Copies of this chain bind each other. A is one copy, B any other.
Amino acid sequence: MSRRYLNLTPLPEALAAMRQAFPPRDHVETVPLRQAVGRVTAEPLYAEYSVPTADIAKFDGYAVKSGDTLGAQDQRPLPLAGYARINTGEVLPVSFDAVVMIEDTWDEEGIPRIRKSAASGQHVRRAGEDIRAGELVLSKGHRIRPFDIGALATYGITGVRVRSVRVGIVPTGSDLVPLGVAPAPGQTIETNTLMAEAYLTRIGATCRRYEIVPDDPDMIREVVEKAVAENDLVILSAGSSAGTRDFARDVVGALGEIVFHGIAVRPGKPVLLANVGGKPVLGMPGYPVAAQTVLREVAGNLLAWWGLSPLPGEELAVRLSKRLASDLGFDEFVPVSVGRVDGTCWVTPHPRGGGIQMAVVRANGYLHIPAAREGIEAGEEVRVRLTVPSASIARTLVCVGERIPALNELGNRLSDAGYLLHCCNASTMGGVLAVRAKTCHAASVALPETEAAWNDRVLRYLPDVDLLRVQIARTELGIASAGDLDAGSLESLRFVNRPKGTAARVFFDAWLDRQGIDTGRLAGYEHEVRTPGAVAAAVGNGFADAGVCPARTAEEAGLRFTPLGYESCDLLIRQELAADDGVASLIRAARSPEFRAYPGSAGKGRNLA
């Protein structure tokens, strides 16, 4: 039986409880200078030497006593008395206080002469001009930057005392296999601890990953006890939910005290924090995007509280391209892609599931919907936290619409031109509406290759828009079947169908109409599957006898194929945007012979060249 969380703690309260339970501590380690970039100083750093260590000459010439040069004039040149030859960078002998450049002198009878007196300190780099011995270089709490390394070295600092947090990361789960092992069905590659290590190391924590522990309370307890002894913070990856095999709560509850279990945050709800002997043990959910939220908003917050420097993420004011629903009472984090279209930054959300890790990979930022909001309206101004440098937004092109494999290849080609293609999945209609609202650079649409479909599904919604249409894929569709399609026995066959609005559905309906068959009498007509591959799989596995899919998919599955027509996948672009260098590059790439000759993949065929 599954158990429920007693109650969900609001995120701000959870963080406050965490900070109260675990006050900042003074953990320090010394790292060699070359490894100090990104770390935070635990103590002030003072210069070991003055720089320069002594007064030095800025130019080649003569060291002089400034007092001896008084009175030299254009009309009344003066021979130097009591000088010393000196080169750039050499130390001024102790009795001299100025330098005369060799270019400003000439020799007469072997003695250099000047036309201008030298002020005290002229052409001299003073001892301590940059810094004096014992002066402060960096105060504590400073995140060391690459160029700081040069300064610290110059001032004689060879090792740095930095703030240190040791984090032990324990992966649990009987279904886990380590990276490098191919997962059998039902197995999962253990990756969340790798991600935690990459993220927390970047913040400045020192991470140690433990071996995978199966779902066994005794074994989990043993590793947790060891990890608590060896670290300042322990992260238990997965097992913090309320399911039958989730032992994290029981184990840490027995070892210490639960601070909270379950936060009103999405994704990331099943997070657990316990106090085990004064040290925090954090139970991180198994869904990767939920784990990311917990790493960023909970673990990152604790490390910042303890004096480490969280990863910089720039905030940007943008407009939301379509309404985002959100439950009142939940802090929600949504992966998004930001792009600047005709001068306005628009943000388009990606899918929000905790298991849809690709949404975060495809995104260039995330949007925080606070618990007090029930949703955000289209067009509203919001602040987005970027996961890329803000400079890259100017090089980002956003395409909204159908997920067409050819777009991947197009993205690869665009990267050669210095642009990043962000594809946000939506229906063909979603893409058309985004073009209408001008919230994207391009839409990707998939339609039956007929005039009627184009008029009815595209032009109708964009009556006054000058449009560019660039075909990027073309697919022959037809009925895949295990046996012969015999018109007489059609009603005895079990079909599998595609959703409304797909080209496959349109062709299927038209075909049934031509055959004079009532869809209501057709077995499986209501049975919709999401992908063309699922059609072939259903027929191949005997769940159904026939269904509409691409010719190539049917062929690869060894099924018979009865052609129905072509689906065309196109980019829709507003003509007015074509002057933009990025959009122009997109169009050029899509029309290039190399792209059109690219073979494509099974899902959506390519026969463009």
Q: Name A's B-contacting residues (CB within 8 A).
A: 1-2, 33-34, 37, 44, 48-49, 51-54, 56, 59-60, 87-91, 94-95, 97, 102-103, 120-121, 125-126, 128-132, 134-143, 145-151, 153-154, 156, 158, 175, 179-180, 182-189, 191-192, 194-195, 197-199, 202, 243-245, 288, 291-292, 309, 311-315, 353, 355-358, 360-361, 387-391, 405, 408, 411-412, 414-416, 418, 420-421, 527-531, 533, 541, 543, 601
Contacts and interface: CB of A to CB of B under 8 A. Distances in A.
A131 to B, nearest CB: 5
A194 B89 contact: no
B194 A33 contact: yes
B243 A156 contact: no
B292 A150 contact: yes
Contacts of A151: 191, 195, 288, 357-358, 360-361
A60 to B, nearest CB: 6
Contacts of A148: 361
A307 to B, nearest CB: 9
A141 B390 CA distance: 16
B195 A146 contact: yes
Contacts of A411: 136, 139
A290 to B, nearest CB: 12
Contacts of A391: 312, 315
Given A60-B244, A139-B415, A312-B389, A149 B198 contact: yes
Given A357-B130, A420-B141, A34 B136 contact: no
A175 B102 CA distance: 21
5 closest Cβ contacts across the A-B interface?
A150-B195, A312-B389, A136-B408, A153-B191, A141-B415
Main secondary structure of the interface of A (DSSP, over half): loop
A358 B131 contact: yes
Contacts of A51: 357
A1 to B, nearest CB: 8
A539 to B, nearest CB: 14
A280 B120 CA distance: 43
Contacts of A191: 149-151, 153-154
A355 B129 contact: yes
B198 A361 contact: no
A361 B408 CA distance: 43
A501 to B, nearest CB: 18
A606 to B, nearest CB: 15
5 contacts: A34-B197, A49-B183, A135-B408, A149-B195, A153-B179
Given A97-B543, A358-B130, A156 B140 contact: no
Given A146-B311, A358-B130, A53 B194 contact: no
A91 B151 CA distance: 58
B389 A199 contact: no
A116 B353 CA distance: 25
Nearest to A418: B141
Given A151-B360, A194-B150, A387 B145 contact: yes
**Copies of this chain, count:** 2
Given A128-B533, A136-B405, A154-B191, 11 more contacts: A2-B103, A56-B186, A95-B543, A130-B356, A131-B357, A137-B361, A145-B388, A147-B198, A147-B292, A148-B361, A314-B390
Contacts of A135: 405, 408
A153 B189 contact: yes
Nearest to A537: B127
A358 to B, nearest CB: 5
Given A94-B541, A243-B60, A527-B120, A150 B192 contact: yes
Given A103-B2, A140-B415, A360 B408 contact: no
B412 A139 contact: yes
Contacts of A531: 128
Contacts of A44: 408, 412
A154 B189 contact: yes
A121 B526 CA distance: 13
B90 A186 contact: yes
A366 to B, nearest CB: 10
Contacts of A533: 128, 132
Q: Which of A95, A148, A158 has the most CB of B within 10 A?
A: A148
Contacts of A198: 34, 37, 146-147, 149-150
Contacts of A358: 130-131, 137, 151
A54 B185 contact: yes
A150 B412 contact: no
A393 to B, nearest CB: 12
Contacts of A121: 530
Nearest to A408: B136
A192 B151 CA distance: 9
Contacts of A529: 120
A453 B251 CA distance: 70
A345 to B, nearest CB: 14
A54 B37 CA distance: 43
A120 B496 CA distance: 11
B179 A88 contact: no
B415 A150 contact: no
A308 B51 CA distance: 34
